[in-house]
């Protein structure tokens, strides 16, 4: 007996063609809905004369008070200290080494270093860089109306 030989069956040309890969379209970018950022809880009014402060008073009745701080004076150790109207230390709310110019919000929740809420009244945010005074901003914390 003769061994059988395999003979391929001819296939029509349309079936032998290699399929061309089809790229699927990426879905269009969907905009991300972000929650609106709450507006800062302060308003600016003229600084009291003789206060030694520059700029405006930040008057607030809801907590926390937010202060926009930028570090355009170059690299260094920046500090924001809250003091009362007599200049006594209340709280250090920012104390960091900044190596490049940037901007941040500094918040104060009307508490002292021990976490106790302070009385309504006039306070100051004292900004220093490497121990030298940069700016002193009056903060007037009043009762909600």
What digits encode the pLDDT tens for the residues 8-60? 555 555 555 555 556 666 555 555 555 444 333 334 444 444 444 555 788 88
Cα(108)–Cα(41) distance, integer angstroms: 11
* pLDDT computed for residue 144 by the predictor: 78
* pLDDT computed for residue 112 by the predictor: 95
Structure tokens at 7: 């003979």
Cβ-defined contacts of 83-88 (< 8 Å, 24+): 83/123, 83/124, 83/126, 84/118, 84/121, 84/122, 84/123, 84/124, 85/121, 85/122, 85/123, 85/124, 87/124
Any idea of the CA torsion for 44, 52, 93, 57, to the nearest 10 degrees?
-10
Mean pLDDT across the chain, nearest whole number?
Answer: 75
Q: Does the global pTM surpass 0.85?
A: no
């Amino acid at each position: 007996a003769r061994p059988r030989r395999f003979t391929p069956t001819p296939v029509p040309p349309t079936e032998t063609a290699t399929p061309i890969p089809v790229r699927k379209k990426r879905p269009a970018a969907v905009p991300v809905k972000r929650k609106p950022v709450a507006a800062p809880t302060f308003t600016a009014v003229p600084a009291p004369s003789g206060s030694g402060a520059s700029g405006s008073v930040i008057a607030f009745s809801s907590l926390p008070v937010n202060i926009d701080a930028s570090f355009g004076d170059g690299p260094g150790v920046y500090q924001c200290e809250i003091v009362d109207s007599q200049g006594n230390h209340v709280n250090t709310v920012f104390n960091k080494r900044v190596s490049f110019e940037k901007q941040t919000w500094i918040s104060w929740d009307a508490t002292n270093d021990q976490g106790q809420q302070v009385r309504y009244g006039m306070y100051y945010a004292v900004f220093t860089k490497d121990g030298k005074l940069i700016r002193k901003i009056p903060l007037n914390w009043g009762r909600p109306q």
